[in-house]
């Protein structure tokens, strides 16, 4: 059997998105890489307005830094007082929701999609991510598809979160796991 006859990963892979959504995403990429990215740092409301124009559900005042990258704004939901820090990547192939006061620190990657590597065509698998009320995701954390982080939970820097985390805990590691209770903020 020659190499050209052998199956390969990604064989017969096609985009699961209709052309209209691909076009919408291209338009968003132009806006995100220009007006959104170039806006002065304090203009969080302006960036929230741009996200809303592209379908994001933003319920109140939020903080969104200009270096944030959002794949599909129409799959993003931000509750009041939530914050997305510098250079955060929201790869939201499925919905990503930040509850009231949830904070995502710099260089974090929220990844709501992957591929089924057990099939040659490697079809897309997408599952939503939810960050609970007042949860804090530390710097440079990876959060995988289908994860829910509980209310008031702290995720330590450089952790890898692939399973749900309970409420009111301090969690660290690769894979991330609870190490102790979080005391109530004063």
Domain boundaries, the chain: 17-181
State how far Cα 126 lies from the chain centre.
Answer: 12
Which of the pair, 126 or 1, is modelled with greater confidence? Answer: 126
Cis amide leading into 175 (omega within 30): yes
pTM of this prediction?
Answer: 0.93
Cβ-based neighbours of 170, under 8 Å, separated by 6 or more: 153, 154, 156, 178, 179, 180, 181, 182
Place of tokens 């109140």: 60
Query: Which architecture characterizes domain 17-181 according to CATH?
Result: 3 Solenoid (2.160)
| Alpha-carbon separation of residue 67 from 7, 15, 173, 176 (angstroms) | 39, 27, 26, 26
**For the segment 77-122, what is each residue's pLDDT rounded down to a tens digit?**
999 999 999 999 999 999 999 999 999 999 999 999 999 999 988 8
pLDDT for 44 equals 98
| Mean pLDDT estimate for the chain | 95
């Amino acid at each position: 059997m020659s190499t050209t006859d052998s199956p390969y990963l990604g064989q017969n892979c096609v985009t699961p998105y209709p052309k209209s959504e691909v076009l919408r995403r291209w338009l968003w990429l132009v806006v995100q890489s220009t007006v959104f990215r170039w806006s002065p740092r304090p203009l969080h409301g302006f960036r929230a307005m741009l996200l809303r124009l592209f379908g994001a559900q933003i319920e109140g005042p939020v903080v969104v830094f200009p270096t944030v990258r959002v794949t599909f704004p129409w799959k993003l939901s931000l509750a009041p007082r939530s914050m997305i820090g510098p250079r955060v990547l929201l790869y939201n192939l499925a919905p990503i929701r930040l509850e009231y006061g949830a904070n995502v620190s710099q260089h974090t990657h929220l990844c709501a999609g992957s591929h089924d590597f057990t099939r040659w065509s490697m079809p897309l698998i997408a599952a939503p991510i939810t960050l609970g009320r007042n949860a804090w995701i530390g710097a440079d954390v990876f959060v995988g598809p289908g994860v829910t982080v509980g209310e008031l939970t702290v995720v330590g820097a450089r952790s890898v979160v692939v399973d749900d985390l309970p409420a009111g805990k301090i969690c660290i590691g690769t894979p991330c796991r609870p190490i102790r209770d979080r005391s109530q903020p004063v």
